[in-house]
Amino acid sequence: MKNFLRKDVLRKIPAIAVMAGIFALSALPGEDPLLNAFHFNDKIKHVIAYFVLGISFCLWASPKNWFVRPLFWGILVVVLGTCFGILDEYHQSFVPGRSGNDFGDMVADFIGTLAAPFVYFFGIKVVSVTLLREPKE
């Protein structure tokens, strides 16, 4: 039981770290100096950040659980990521130099989060098929 709980807690650490990073960057007044090093459109930055967040949410369940209930886990990841994106936009409305409540940012957050379960599920499927394949002689 202790080992199960330890694994369960450890699976959540990447998502917590990514959420803390997004929150910290969005709390900075004005533009993100760290992200300005990357000369991408703001919406692409949102898609990438929330894709990473979505992948980290995907880690909450074991690959075995993903195979048993992929739709459940996929919907959960999208809902969690989208809710965090909406809350982050609301948070930004209180930060000086930030607009917050930008619908375009929320859509980009949703798209990044939506892509993550598909990439993760098909990635673990390819890896499991590759590992289970009998070696050719």
> What tens digit of pLDDT does each residue of 90-128 get?
999 898 888 878 899 999 999 999 999 999 999 988 887
Domain ranges of the chain: 66-121
CA distance 73 to 79: 10
Q: What's the helix, strand, coil split of the chain in %, to 5? A: 75, 0, 25
CA atoms within 13 A on the CB side of 76: 14
Q: What is each CA distance from 54 to 1, 86, 129, in whole angstroms?
A: 27, 14, 23
What is the model's pTM?
0.84
**pLDDT tens digits for 47-88?**
999 999 999 999 999 888 999 999 999 999 999 999 999 999
- On average, the pLDDT of the chain sits at 86
